[in-house]
Amino acid sequence: MFDTLYYQDPYLRAFDATVTACTPRPDGLFAVVLSDTAFYPEGGGQPGDTGTLSGVRVADTQEQDGQVVHLCQGALAPGQAVHGEIDWVRRFRHMQCHTGEHIFSGIAHALYGCRNVGFHMSRGWVTIDLTPPLSPEQLAEVERQSNAAVFADVPTVVSYPDADALRTLDYRSKKALSGPVRIVEAGGRDVCACCGLHVARSGEVGCIKVGTQTPHRGGVRLTLYIGWDAVQDYHEKQQSVTAISHTLSAKPHEVAQAVARMAARNDRCAEEIIALHAEIFRLRAALLPQGQDKLWTFTQGLTPVEIRQFADILAEQAGWAAVFSHAADGTYQYAICSRTQDVRPVCRALNAALDGHGGGKAAVVQGAVSAGQDAIEAFCQAFPAGRPVKPV
Ligand SMILES: [Zn+2]
């Protein structure tokens, strides 16, 4: 396997070969095998190549039974000479990401004894799982040293040491290996057994930037932006910062402080709104009778929190008090409160009578009913029995 075209020259974008087999598959694709190939089959965390064979689309490349299988969207005849072209932009990105991941993982291992237990390439970033987890300061140091290794522009060295040399070599490996082992040295900072393809010099990696970090199975899952991915990510974040900067009339490097000031202002406004609502609800309550067995009123457009706040204030002047707020969906949202009684029986009867739902504790229930004001009015008048009170 190690003498195929993609290992001989990972930068080979086009080549000529002969079709040795073409087998139709149940998924409609054709499994094509060539006399030799520059298409890299999925392996070592690196996706399989895509491209064309004499104009026929290669949707993926896989290794099966020791052969490189090109999954083509059309048939090719065995014996046919074909011209292969791989999607180079996509492949080069894979090589950048793979090499950058080596450098980052190698330095995390050398500095803090971290093991890389997972590697995945997505569109636009890669994720790696490291254990044990790193502190923010340690992560920043790994990132800094990784970029220093990139800027040092060190050649990538691939070798196939014999068994004796391998025994004395200190290298990273995710699994037990048999047969010839391909050792890759990247950025002068990592030695790792790997079957993937890499850039020739660490300088081609371009940049290594840590994105998000989340706890994962006792370690940490990191998002890394490497090479062109880092350029794209920087572009998108720059657009985002510029938009926020314009909206808040703040300098781009001061948007975080500007957002924090805006959030603090919003918190103060929210507190003022709550206080103003309380004042309005008290003024409205003062217009309603005092000392009633039950009391209810209608309003519109209040939030559930405001409805409860209003009902709680009304409960100071009645056995139980209900507020019904007309919502945009046509229902009435309600809260029923009491200082002295269990209001859950009112809630249950209301829901049963007026196609409602909701519940709560003895002192406060909340819900919604699908009924008009007249039906709600009639229910409140009748429940359970007693002196009806006409709301203002
Ligand atoms: Zn590799």
DSSP string, 327-374: -TTS-EEEEEE-SSS--HHHHHHHHHHTTEEEEE-SSEEEEEE-S-HH
Using an 8 Å Cβ cutoff, are 33 and 21 in contact? yes
CATH number at residue 31: 2.40.30.130
- Centre of ligand 1 to C-alpha 54, Å, is 29
Question: Ligand 1 centre and the CA of 126: distance in Å?
Answer: 13
Give which of 128, 130, 184 is closest to 158, Cα–Cα: 184
Closest Cα partner for 114 from 96, 101, 124, 95?
A: 101
If phi > 0 it is left, if psi is from -120 to 50 it is alpha, else beta; for residue 48 that is beta
Give the per-residue pLDDT at 174.
59
What does the pLDDT read at residue 319?
94
Ligand 1 centroid – CA 197 distance (Å): 6
- Cβ atoms within 10 A of the Cβ of 157, count? 13
In terms of domains, do 54 and 127 share one?
no
List residues, by chain if needed, whose CB lies under 5 Å from ion ligand 1.
98, 194, 196
d(CA 316, CA 320): 9
227 and 166 within one domain: yes
What is the distance in A from the centroid of ligand 1 to the CA of 26?
32
- The pLDDT assigned to 279 comes to 96
**Number of structural domains found in the chain:** 3
235, 265, 291 - which closes a domain: 235
- Residues near 162 by beta carbon (within 8 Å), at least 6 away in sequence: none
Confidence class of residue 45 from pLDDT cuts 50, 70 and 90?
Answer: confident
pLDDT for residue 2 is more than 80: no
Question: Do residues 56 and 154 both lie within one domain?
Answer: no
The CA 244 to ligand 1 mean position distance, Å, reads 39
Residue 191 host element (H or E): strand 190-193
Specify the pLDDT at position 1: 62
Residue 80 CA to residue 89 CA, distance in Å, equals: 27
Cα of 96 to ligand 1 centre, how many Å? 10
The mean of the pLDDT values for the chain is 93
Can you give the length of the chain in residues?
A: 392
pLDDT surpasses 70 at 389: no
Would you place residue 127 in the very low, low, confident or very high pLDDT band (cuts 50, 70, 90)? very high
Do 142 and 229 lie in a common domain? yes
Q: How far, in Å, is the centroid of ligand 1 from the Cα of 44?
A: 7
335: domain CATH number? Answer: 3.10.310.40
pLDDT at 295 (0 to 100): 95
Cα of 142 from ligand 1 centre, angstroms:
18
Residue ending a domain, among 86, 109, 129, is 86
| Angle between helical axes of 228-248 and 255-286 (0-180°, round to 10) | 50
With a cut of 90, say whether residue 10 has pLDDT above it.
yes
252 in a structural domain: no
Residue 243 domain-assigned (yes or no): no
Distance (angstroms) between ligand 1 centre and the Cα of 14 equals 22
Residue 177: its pLDDT value, please?
Answer: 64
- Please determine, for residue 387, whether its predicted confidence score (pLDDT) is greater than 50: no
pLDDT mean over 269-280:
94
| Span from the CA of 35 to the centroid of ligand 1 (angstroms) | 25
- Are 367 and 359 in contact by the 8 Å Cβ rule? The answer is yes
Q: How far is the CA of 87 from the centre of ligand 1 (A)?
A: 19
Q: Is residue 275 part of a domain?
A: no
Q: Is the dihedral of CA 8, 14, 19, 23 positive or negative?
A: positive
Statement: residue 327 has pLDDT above 60 = yes
Q: Does one domain contain both 118 and 21?
A: no
pLDDT at 337 over 60: yes
What pLDDT was estimated at residue 328? 93
pLDDT digits (tens, 9 = 90+) for 143-195: 999 999 999 999 999 999 988 888 888 888 756 666 788 999 999 999 999 98
Cα–Cα distance for residue pair 288/298, rounded to 1 Å = 12
Residues 156 and 229 in one domain: yes
Ligand 1 centroid distance, CA of 193 (Å): 8
Give me the residues paired with residue 208 across strands: 226
pLDDT band of residue 365 (cuts 50, 70, 90) is very high
Contact 98, 46 (CB under 8 A): yes
Q: Is the pLDDT of residue 385 over 70?
A: no
Residue 256 lies inside a defined structural domain of this protein? no
Residue 316 lies in a domain: yes
Tokens of 337: 């409160």
DSSP per position, 254-321? GHHHHHHHHHHHHHHHHHHHHHHHHHHHHHHHHTSPSSEEEEEEEEES--HHHHHHHHHHHGGGEEEE
Higher-confidence residue of 151 and 1: namely 151
Residues 295 and 371 in one domain: yes
Ligand 1: centre distance to CA 158 (Å): 10
Residue 56 confidence (pLDDT)? 98
Kindly state whether residue 336 falls inside one of the protein's structural domains.
yes
Residue 245 lies in a domain: no
Instruction: Based on the fold, state whether residues 303 and 349 are members of the same structural domain.
Output: yes
Answer yes or no: do 160 and 113 share one domain. yes
pLDDT greater than 60 at residue 390? no
Q: For position 183, which CATH number holds? A: 3.30.980.10
Range of the domain at 120: 92-235
Whole-structure pTM value: 0.77
Verify that 130 and 181 share a domain, yes or no: yes
Instruction: Tell me, in angstroms, the distance from the centre of ligand 1 to residue 95's CA.
Output: 8
- Distance from C-alpha of 274 to C-alpha of 304, rounded to nearest angstrom: 13
* 345 in the same domain as 291: yes
**For 36-60, what is the mean pLDDT?**
95
Residue 257, domain member (yes or no): no
User: What is the reported pLDDT for 159?
Assistant: 93
* Domain end (from 86, 116, 139): 86
Question: Are 40 and 123 within one domain?
Answer: no
